[in-house]
Chains A and B, each alone.
Chain A
Amino acid sequence: MKLTLPPHVSGDVFQQALQAFERVVGKGWVLATDEDRDSYSDIYAPGPETEWPASAAVAPGSVEEVQAIVRLANEFKTPLWPISRGKNLGYGANAPRMPGTIVLDLSRMNRVLELDVGLGYCVIEPGVGFFDLYEHLQRAKAPLWMSVPGNAWGSVIGNALDHGIGYTPYGLHSRNLCGLEVVLPDGGLLRTGMGAMAGNHSWHMFPSSFGPDWTQMFTQSNLGIVMKAGLWLQPAPPSSVMLTWDIPKEEDIGWVVDTITPLKLAGVIDQNVFIPSWLGKIVLKGQRKDFWDKPGAIPESRVQELLQQYKLGYWQVQIRLYGDDAVNRAKAEVIKKAFQKHLPVPPLEEYWNTGDPVSQYDVTVGVPSAVALQMGDWVGGRGAHMGFSPVVPANSTHVLGQLHRSRKIIAEHDVDFYASFTISGRFATNINMLMYDRDNATQVANMRKLFNALIGETAKAGYGEYRTHLGWMDAVTDTYNFNDHAQRRLNEKVKDALDPNGVLAPGKQGVWPAAYRTARGGTA
């Protein structure tokens, strides 16, 4: 990819900045060839990768180096796009929002700095991946479980900072962060929470502070660069049981949610409960062309044939319980009784005890895997995906409303419907997975149109996305419109106060610093 300079920066100044970076990190850790720029582009880009081009990348190896780079970025007015491991697939991967931004690649900073088995936490750097942490826990024989996302190739901190979710009782990943160390936009260093007191022993235990706590301010944010984080881990349970139901009809999602949510609020169910639709199971059987060889959406009549032929429900519910075996069994009875009111078929029950093997692909037991990315094979070619991810209250009224709305819009665009609802308590995250072949221009154009329609119609109905691709960050931010976009205006005010040169991640989550505010507006 040819060089796209950052806005308002000349070629000479850009080169001077890179040379200054090299003096900090060493020549080998500043990358600025055409091939390097290609490697920092979105591999799932819904359109040309050149829409979100990086100009270069710099990879510091320590907090001090990050501070030095940030100070130089202020001096040369060269904006930085921090990434942890750059595996935010479906949301932009390692590419920057604003063309010409220099990627600040933190993946070299990959140490597990502390592990406390008794109190169940670790302190890690941003380059620590889920695989790295899992292996560290295994080598230490630490009786602690992680919570992992479907694609666990990425960074533990990066995923938590982007509000990622997993499927264990620790599945709300940003909530597991306790005590951050952050480089601020002027190069200064801050510790959040109790870490604000030098040498405080409770830094990674107490989730608040004396006075305001700024921890969550640095999630989905461009106000600082997280250098280390305390991360809570789940004590390994002695036993576990998984209950699995196939749920026959589409409309059944209503009673399913109304059954699960009260059990979750009452503490009978601890985990985030994931409920995927049928398409997730059909991919087990082959590629799309094996079931429907026409370009448009698989028609409902064919869907019903497939469900019958392969003996599948429209949805699948899997609930895992963790803890003492007797307690798990008692909870399982409560849950089974609640389901039986609607579905006479008993669930599949799978019991597990310490020492038993665990499935190497079961995210509900916190083992990392990247096999979810095999979904790319469904459409064939250079398969890619984007997720449309609104959050709705976890009851039948809202869930069915959301289902019907997105179903209609997706059908109008002649695209296969593949959705899931993850119940996390009072809310459910609805992921609508949109899969496409990157080399099919018509398909990509249709996906972009569909994505715009979904954002617009869903917002009109009173729901917003919790996370989105680079190309739609402005569009989604615009939907958060209370009092003439008061939140965006506050974000901008804070951004300008902390980052007057706008050097950290301009445009991240639709927050543009004054220096680049005219760049607002999606390329999508």
Chain B
Amino acid sequence: MARDLIVTERDGGVLIIRLSSPENRNSLTMEMRQALGEAVALAESSPEIRTVFLTGEGPTFCSGGDLHHLRTACDPWTVHRRFRNLSRWLVPLITLDKPVVVGVNGHAVGGGMGLALTGDVLIASESAVFMSGFFRLGAIPDIAMMYHLPRLIGMARAKKFLFGGESFTAQQAADLGLVSRVVSDDALYEAGLLEARRLATGPAEVMGLAKVVMARSFETSLHEMMAYEGFGQALAMSNPEFREGLEALIVRRPADFEGAAALAREHSGGEA
């Protein structure tokens, strides 16, 4: 392989993951999925990584599935196998217990839109466009699009978007609440990274706990949710980030959550 399809880079507590195949419009080839899975596994297994910033290189965020590959790899058993493999990269990304910022730097099409929607905070460049495109192909929406989109904008709007073959501009996506902020193309990378850094210097482990509890919201009854909330808060308050936040608020100084978490890791030592 000429070069890495995914470039990962550490920036303090942030793991930057860049889709780095602009000549292929960052399409989700098998190799790209594999590399993305490895990057997510790195984020998952490294305690010093507190947040993730996921973005793409070039004018496209991600164009989704690789159409040329599909011509030769669409027999039923191969397709069934390929979707079973989503548990290796997509599910870990969705369930990652750390805040994920996605910088949508351009077109997010099909599976590429599905990928963008896995983020906790989306920031889009002015030229970003969200498109489904699946029904142009005669395929059903994938990469968790049918899971996320109705949850994010409601079932009726999701159906209108998908069945209508619509696309959202960055601003339309922001108006719907899919995207938290629209910035100029030049400013996107910096804005996304700044947001990921801001989250990393916050109580990122505790936010991760909240993320996991919130992810259960749509599948969980009130009584179960209250039980999870109780466990979650008990865990949060056993965490060094909480002790730091509480102390800092009481003596009116800025909290150093990242420092408190790092110190606690040092003290607990390398557990076998």
User: Do A and B associate with each other?
Assistant: no
